[in-house]
Structure 1
């Protein structure tokens, strides 16, 4: 195999792999009766793992009903996947004053 052909194959593989995006798992805590961070920006295909750090139970529930976690007790987590772009307001069904926003790009 010639040096040119090896270089061509390596460059082609790099270009192909650059187009494959890895999904990220973003961590979000529920603590102090608030979501942290309150605004979360992710890419389409990413997930957010909500973990309850409070003594009280909480949920993370979309205002439009597109997602909700189970009731999370202290130390419990749940992961939500986002497969379409948009801005999603969310809240805790138990403590409705707890609010946040997810921006999916």
Structure 2
């Protein structure tokens, strides 16, 4: 896992969701692909997101509990782990610590 992205453009305006519990910035790589780099702050309740494209969420630091789509199971992901969310799918994420992540749009 690379520790940095080289030769990127960054959108200045942050994406802020759930009253600041999720904050990210869009990165545009040299090849035109997009990623978001962000943090999920600790929360008492799961945060629910909906994808438009397939997304692979790479956890950089922290641990989180994730439920994808209609699945009843909740999986835990930690630093170095990742999970894939299909297009047009809701997922929930929750943590009691700060989680740094990269979202790769596949």
TM-score class, shorter-chain normalisation, is 0.3 to 0.5
| TM-score, length of structure 2 as denominator length | 0.38
Higher relative contact order (CA 8 A, sep 6+): 2
Would you tell me which structure has more strand in proportion to its own residues?
2
| Structure of greater Rg | 1
Would you tell me which structure has more helix in proportion to its own residues?
1
